[in-house]
Structure 1
């Protein structure tokens, strides 16, 4: 076994009502002025005001940047940075799902290191820790509140940059399922399938280790048991809390074992067509695993078992087939689109998307390396 390093925020709070506890912890850290990075929906429905009131009670002033786009851009990072500098904020709070978290990471990283967010594309390109980041999560999916991954769309190149950097890890993550109750069905489904993708890709990754394996398989089981319930009834707090833990476990897995071609390919679809990340992952997941089954059948069989399939009488290939069938069934049950054609992906764009996917850092840990033709073929199969 090769050596492994395990990255995770130093403090992580999970469970109904933990938001108030987080505000007290922030006071203890001695911060005076926070920049809250969020989106306009969370601002409109009053979630931002709720967080600001909690901070105010702790004598922490706050400014708000609510311009985060669903696929956060280089422009969003620059705009947020401008507000941070105006107010001389000493910490950043991200509030929302993966988009505000990633945007906030970009802002906090450039605030401390200077330059432009594009300078940090790739792995560990920054010299010093970002401004302290507290991530308050409102979705059960991306796990961006606890990872060292930051995905930013470069508006000039129309690609998503993968910034994988130990310095973008938040110092405190907060998963309060009470903040997740209002999530619409479509978002619950997409973010839940994103979490499943994290767990599956981490489990078949060439960088997997016993810690990430344990996290990934437990996440798969919990998502299989709870995602349908969370989508069906958003106020089912037991399902919401289970999904909050599951997506966190999946985050622990991929934050350390990394990902694979599902993410490398989904990033291109998101950057090129501005599509929802979780939906792209969900559509691509079975097709990439069919490709991976050539070398990962035994691991995919383990995932089928974690999803509740009786694999005792199956060989590895049958187990892999059962895993792929079960993933498709879950996606269909939560109303994920059947293919990329429904998302208006154009066949003539596939060669360009494949070229960019092969450059994405997430693909380097896929269990088997693909040619350009093979990536195009997977995209085609997913149409």
Structure 2
């Protein structure tokens, strides 16, 4: 029997009102000089100030860095690193979607160990010095609050670098549905399909294990029932809460099983064309599943049954191919654009496909896929999804 190495946050508070536990978290961890890493929207919305007040009430001296950008780059980390150094921080708190949490993770390691993010790129993993990371997600999708990965784009090459290792795993996470109630429909859809992709890829990954399997199946069952609801009605608090739990479960699943071809191909789309990570996953998910399905009929069939796409008595082939149909319908229902309808120029898209395929393979994620592609097959998939 293969031994699975499982790593999870030491502390996790999940549920409505969980943010109020922040003070007890920093007290438990002995934090005195935290830097809150977030974006301008969290400041405008008043959430950042609420976090700062909770930290001050707990007796700490917090600092705010609100300069994170969507899909953080190596260049965007500079001002954040200066803020962490100026505060002589003893912890970083990532507040926001995947980008602020990824930024916080990167700053944690750069402050404690130095170098550049290129030094920490896959295959890694990095397990050296790092500041404690506390993650407070405000979207339901990235799962970054529970993963041992960060993704940073190289400003010089537009390559989205996957940086793995236990040092990037938050020591504590606070998952509060109330922080997601103002998410717009497009963001709800993109992050929701991102969570579903995490769950499916964790389950079909060549590195899957019984622990990650249970989390992945539970997450995909929840997402397929709740995602259309939050897209149609952002005030549906029950569905919002379900999506938050599923996102964290999916994050725990893929952190301990790895992702596969969708993510390998998604990162170059984001790096070259500045497409949000969840959206680029959504653009790819049906086509990549169709490409992969016959290589793991039993695993994809399990996904279909968990999502109640078919009954338990359906044979594997029928169930697995029904899953492809359901993913296609789901992405249509939440109006996922193609690269073409998103506005990416056809010639620009075509000119970058070879480089994108090379970068996808170099990330290592495609090697975890049930059907491992070569560069030409990846280029073919990129061409297929364009329209």
TM value normalised by structure 2: 0.96
Unaligned runs of 5+ in 2: none
User: Residues 187-234 of structure 1, C-alpha deviation per residue, up to 9 Å, x if partnerless?
Assistant: 111000000000011111001111111111111110011111122222
Give the whole-Å Cα distance in 2 for the aligned partners of 1:260 and 1:31: 36
Instruction: Tell me the CA shift for residue 50 of structure 1.
Output: 0.9
Deviation by residue 1:134-157 (Cα, 9 ceiling, x = unmatched): 101101100001100100000001
Task: Name the CA distance, whole Å, in 2 between partners of 1:251 and 1:165.
Answer: 14
The unaligned stretches of length 5 or more in structure 1 are none
Deviation at 1:78, TM superposition (A): 2.0
Q: Secondary structure at the match of 1:74?
A: coil
User: How far is 1:127 from its partner?
Assistant: 5.2
- CA displacement, residues 6-55 of structure 1 (integer Å, 9 cap, x when unaligned): 11111111000011112222123221111111111111221101111111
Instruction: Please report the RMSD computed on the Cα atoms of aligned residues, expressed in angstroms.
Output: 1.3
Matched residue count:
382
Match of 2:74 in 1: 74
2:233 is the counterpart of 1:233: yes
| Kept in 1: contact 2:97–2:139 (CA 8 A) | yes
Q: What residue number does 1:341 align with?
A: 340
Q: Which deviates more, 254-263 or 121-130?
A: 121-130
1:46-125 matched pairs, under 5 angstroms: 46-125=46-125
Is residue 2:133 matched to residue 1:130? Answer: no
The 3-state SS of whatever aligns with 1:244 is helix
Separation of aligned partners in 1, 2:193 and 2:376: 27
Partners of 1:65 and 1:83 within 8 A in 2: yes
Counterpart of 1:371?
A: 374
2-structure distance, mates of 1:225, 1:69? 31
Matches within 5 A, 1:139-158: 139-158=139-158
* Aligned counterparts, 1:1-383, within 5 A: 1-126=1-126, 128-312=128-312, 314-337=314-337, 339-343=338-342, 344=344, 346-383=349-386
CA contact (8 A) 2:148 2:165 kept: yes
CA–CA separation in structure 2 for the residues paired with 1:144 and 1:127: 17
When structure 1 is superposed on structure 2, of 19-28 and 66-75 the one drifting more is 19-28
Cα separation, 1, equivalents of 2:300 and 2:29: 43
Q: For 2:256, what is the secondary structure of its paired residue?
A: helix
Tell me how far 1:99 sits from its aligned partner. Answer: 0.3
- Asked if structure 2 preserves the Cα contact closer than 8 Å seen for 1:78 and 1:107, the reply is no
**Alpha carbons 1:260, 1:366 under 8 Å: kept:** yes
